[in-house]
């Protein structure tokens, strides 16, 4: 059982480049979310989805886009990368309200 799979694990981008971080879960969870983790800041919610076709903004949505066309996948798009987006990105999924969120192992993104 793979759980939540994030790809790639590491990525280096130049300012202005675009890229998509992939997230897939095999637990048939309705709820999926994206966080960024920065030193001293904890995890901050970027975007989340409560089901296919439904997305909403979190605390820090600017500079990021998401879509949810299937239950399994929830990609995060950076349209024009900026150095301030250098971070570790985590995707999570959850199967029930108030239930545990299952996190992937993260994507470490550096923007030069």
Residues forming the site for other proteins (CB under 8 A): 4, 31, 33, 35, 40-45, 48, 50, 56, 58-59, 90, 92, 97-98, 100-101, 103-106
Q: How far is the CB of 14 from other proteins (least distance, A)?
A: 25
Task: Give least dist CB 59 to other proteins, A.
Answer: 7
C-alpha to C-alpha distance for 38 and 52, rounded to whole angstroms:
28
Q: Which residue has the tokens 């999926």?
A: 32
N-terminal to C-terminal alpha carbon distance within the chain: 36
Question: Which lies closer to other proteins via its Cβ, residue 24 or residue 104?
Answer: 104
Cross-strand partners of 64:
78
Q: How far apart are the C-alpha atoms of 10 and 30, rounded to whole Å?
A: 27
Nearer to other proteins, 77 or 108 (CB): 108
Task: Output 17 or 52, the one with its CB closest to other proteins.
Answer: 52
Beta carbon of residue 80, minimum distance to other proteins (angstroms, whole number): 26
Q: Which residues pair with 23 in a beta bridge?
A: 6
Q: Tell me the β-bridge partners of 20.
A: 77
Choice between 63 and 103, CB closer to other proteins: 103
């Amino acid at each position: 059982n793979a759980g939540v799979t994030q790809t790639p694990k590491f990525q280096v981008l130049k300012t202005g480049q675009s890229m998509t971080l992939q997230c897939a879960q095999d637990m048939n969870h309705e709820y999926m979310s994206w966080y960024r983790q920065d030193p001293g800041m904890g995890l901050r919610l970027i975007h989340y989805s409560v089901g296919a076709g439904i997305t909403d903004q979190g605390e820090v949505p600017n500079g990021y886009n998401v879509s949810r066309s299937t239950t399994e996948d929830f990609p995060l798009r950076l349209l024009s990368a900026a150095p301030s987006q250098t971070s570790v990105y985590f995707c999570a999924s959850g199967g029930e309200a108030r239930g545990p969120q299952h996190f992937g192992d993260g994507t470490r993104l550096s923007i030069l």
